């Protein structure tokens, strides 16, 4: 055998040679799985590996094992992750089970399939889809992979999904308003084309009906701060006793336009947001909102990554309960 060129990384063959065993034995001794190797040889191999500073080449390993310990996180834009806390915890947890995260920003969805195919992302073990650029079937095809988890609110007969159960939080928010004597409300919505949004709107309406709150205006925005501002300043605006927004960003826009009217003791209306984004930590936007337990949510995602059996049976839907977070805006 050729002596190793010193600038090369040692391979498993080098380790085997130094330990005086075959490559197969070295491979087994170094495996994380239990494999039959005698105790003394295992010891010699580990010792040799350590001495050489051997690092396995995971590309080569993946070629035979067909697994790369890589998880794709698919987003439309980074702003899909405006919830930095959620994402921070998610990455941290994924890393703690020994997997790494490859980040796929879909953006225009234009040449994304071609892009994917030209990268390692194509070989991920699983894809966590926050983006709504495509349905589960397309994503599965794009990743050559059945391990697709839909986190974008889209449902699919064959793909598991984790979706916050919004009814509980909405019911609590509307009840909060009713308990404070609210009789009329305005609803500020996002893109109503999305099924998630339609369900959300339906929940608000049915809860209002239950409490005898009259819906006097329904205004359509696009979830953004700017759209909230625009609607609040538009001629269509009417100060109902409560304003329910289907995103916190829109609520922030509404708040900024009507800040003076909302600050005194005799507030013009009660304001409710949705998402419970961390911005509420800033004093200027104390918006009552609807959130969910991120720890639970992420635990479910991890379940999917570690114990797929539970999700295997097709389009399993896991619901994470939401709750109402009262703040001074209401």
Partner DNA sequence: CTGTTAGCGCTTTCAC
Partner DNA sequence: GTGAAAGCGCTAACAG
Residues that bind DNA (CB under 7 A): 8-9, 11-13, 21-25, 27-28, 30-31, 36-38, 40-41, 54, 56-57, 60-61, 63-65
CA–CA dist 19, 8 (Å, integer) = 19
CA–CA dist 239, 131 (Å, integer) = 34
CB of 64 to a second copy, least distance (A): 10
Q: Which is nearer to a second copy, 62 or 303 (CB)?
A: 62
Among positive and negative, which fits the CA dihedral 321, 271, 278, 219? positive
Q: Which is nearer to a second copy, 172 or 279 (CB)?
A: 279
Q: Which stretch binds a second copy (CB under 8 A): 112-120, 192-200, 207-215, 299-307?
A: 112-120
User: Binding string to a second copy for residues 212 to 241, with x set by CB under 8 A, is what?
Assistant: -------------x----------------
Instruction: Give the alpha-carbon dihedral of 174, 177, 181, 183, to 10 degrees.
Output: -60
> Residue 192: which of DNA, a second copy, none does it interact with, CB under 5 to 8 A by kind?
none
CA–CA dist 296, 103 (Å, integer) = 23
DSSP per-residue codes, 219-278: EE--SSHHHHHHHHHSTT----SEEEESSHHHHHHHHHHTHHHHHSSS-S-EEE-SS--G
Decide: is 118 part of the binding site for a second copy (CB under 8 A). Answer: yes
The CA–CA distances, whole Å, from 263 to 67, 246, 259, 268, 286 equal 57, 22, 6, 9, 11
Nearest to 132 by CA among 102, 155, 157: 155
> Residue 37: which of DNA, a second copy, none does it interact with, CB under 5 to 8 A by kind?
DNA
Longest dimension (CA), the chain: 87
Nearest to 109 by CA among 135, 79, 87: 135
CB of 82 to a second copy, least distance (A): 7
Give how many residues touch a second copy by CB under 8 A: 53
> Residue 38: which of a second copy, DNA, none does it interact with, CB under 5 to 8 A by kind?
DNA
Residue 291 is classified by DSSP as: E
Decide: is 265 part of the binding site for a second copy (CB under 8 A). Answer: no
Nearest to 45 by CA among 58, 60, 28: 28
Decide: is 261 part of the binding site for a second copy (CB under 8 A). Answer: no
Q: Which is nearer to DNA, 143 or 223 (CB)?
A: 143
CB of 33 to DNA, least distance (A): 7
CB of 59 to DNA, least distance (A): 7
| Residues in contact with a second copy by the rule CB under 8 A | 9, 55-60, 62-63, 68-70, 73, 77-79, 81-82, 84-85, 87-88, 91-92, 95, 98-105, 107, 115, 117-123, 144, 225, 252, 256, 259, 279, 281-285
């Amino acid at each position: 055998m050729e002596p190793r060129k010193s600038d090369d990384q040692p391979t498993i063959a080098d380790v085997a040679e130094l330990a005086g065993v075959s490559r197969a034995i070295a491979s087994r001794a170094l495996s994380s799985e239990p494999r039959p190797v005698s105790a003394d040889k295992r010891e010699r191999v580990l010792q040799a590996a350590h001495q050489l500073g051997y690092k396995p080449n995971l590309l080569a390993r993946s070629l035979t094992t067909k697994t790369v310990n890589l998880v794709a996180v698919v987003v439309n834009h980074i702003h899909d992750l405006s919830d930095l806390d959620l994402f921070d915890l998610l990455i941290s947890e994924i890393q703690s089970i020994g997997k790494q995260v490859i980040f796929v920003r879909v953006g225009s969805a234009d040449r994304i399939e071609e892009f994917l195919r030209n990268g390692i992302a194509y070989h991920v073990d699983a894809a966590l889809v926050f983006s709504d650029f495509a349905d589960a079937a397309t994503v599965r095809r794009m990743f050559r992979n059945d391990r697709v988890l839909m986190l974008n609110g889209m449902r699919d007969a064959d793909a598991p999904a984790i979706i916050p159960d919004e009814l509980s939080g909405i019911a609590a928010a509307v009840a909060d308003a009713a308990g404070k004597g609210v009789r009329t409300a305005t609803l500020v919505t996002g893109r109503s084309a999305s099924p998630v949004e339609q369900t959300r709107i339906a929940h608000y309406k049915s809860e209002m009906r239950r409490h005898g709150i009259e819906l006097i205006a329904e205004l359509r925005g696009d979830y953004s701060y700017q759209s909230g501002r625009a609607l609040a300043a538009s001629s269509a605006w009417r100060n109902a006793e409560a304003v329910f927004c289907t995103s916190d960003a829109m609520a922030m826009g509404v708040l900024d336009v009507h800040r003076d009217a909302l600050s005194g003791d005799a507030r013009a209306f009660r304001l409710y947001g949705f998402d419970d984004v961390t911005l509420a930590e800033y004093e200027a936007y104390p918006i009552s909102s609807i959130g969910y337990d991120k720890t639970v949510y992420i635990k479910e995602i991890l379940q999917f990554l570690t114990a797929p059996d539970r999700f295997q049976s097709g389009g399993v839907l896991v619901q994470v309960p939401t709750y109402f977070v009262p703040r001074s805006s209401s």
